Structure 1
Amino acid sequence: MWIEAIVMPREESRPYRPSRRLDRRALYNAGRDESLEFRATVLNFLQANQLMNAVKWVSEPGSLPMVTLRCQERVLERLRKAPEFEAGKSLSLELQS
């Protein structure tokens, strides 16, 4: 059975410090770079743990460090156990008319 999972980096325990003011383009580019790097980290983890055959689809990078996967439940369980990730199942919405 295929599920949709959302993976984000685990938050660090250091206190929040606002960043210096950047223009929107620089802020977007920094977020995009972080997203590309995080996506590569998730894919490397999946390949290293031989889980790619249980993944049907991986989202493209965006402006936030977050990856959505269409995968089997065992992939989500492995991601939840990894110390570098926060992972969960996305909520399915079925609309009725």
Structure 2
Amino acid sequence: MWIEAIVMPREEDTPYRPSLLRDRRAVYEVGRHESLQFRERVLNYLQSRQLMSAVKWVSEPGSLPMVTLRCQERVLEQLRQAPQFEAGKSLSLELQS
């Protein structure tokens, strides 16, 4: 059975510091770069544990370090156990009229 999982980096204990960048384009580019690097870390993790055969789809990088996967439950369990990731199942909304 395929599920949709959301993966984010585990929060660090360092306090939040607002960006000194005031240019929106620069802030966006920094976010895109962080997102691309995080996506690569997730894919490397999955490949190193030979889990890619249990992954159907991986989201493209966005402006936040977050990856959405269409995967099997065992992939989500492995990601939850990894100390560098926070992972969970996304909620499905089935609307009825």
Which bin holds the TM-score, normalised by the shorter protein?
over 0.9
| C-alpha deviation, 1:22, in angstroms | 2.4
Q: In structure 2, what is the Cα distance between the partners aligned to 1:20 and 1:11?
A: 20
Task: Write the letter of the residue equivalent to 1:24.
Answer: R
Q: Identity, % of aligned pairs? A: 80
Structure 2: gaps spanning 5 or more residues: none
What number of residue pairs does the alignment pair up? 97
Show structure 1 runs of 5+ residues with no match.
none
Partner secondary structure for residue 69 of structure 1:
strand
Match of 1:57 in 2: 57
One-letter code aligned to 2:75? V
In the alignment, the residues of structure 1 paired with residue 4 and residue 21 of structure 2 have an alpha-carbon distance, to the nearest angstrom, of: 35
Note the C-alpha offset of 1:16. Answer: 1.4
Q: CA RMSD in A?
A: 0.6
Question: Hey, which bits of structure 1, 4+ residues long, moved more than 6 A?
Answer: none
Q: What's the counterpart of residue 33 of structure 2?
A: 33
Structure 1 residue 18: Cα displacement = 1.7
Counterpart residue number, 1:8:
8
Q: Taking structure 2 as the reference length, what is the TM-score of the superposition? A: 0.98
1:71 corresponding residue in structure 2? 71
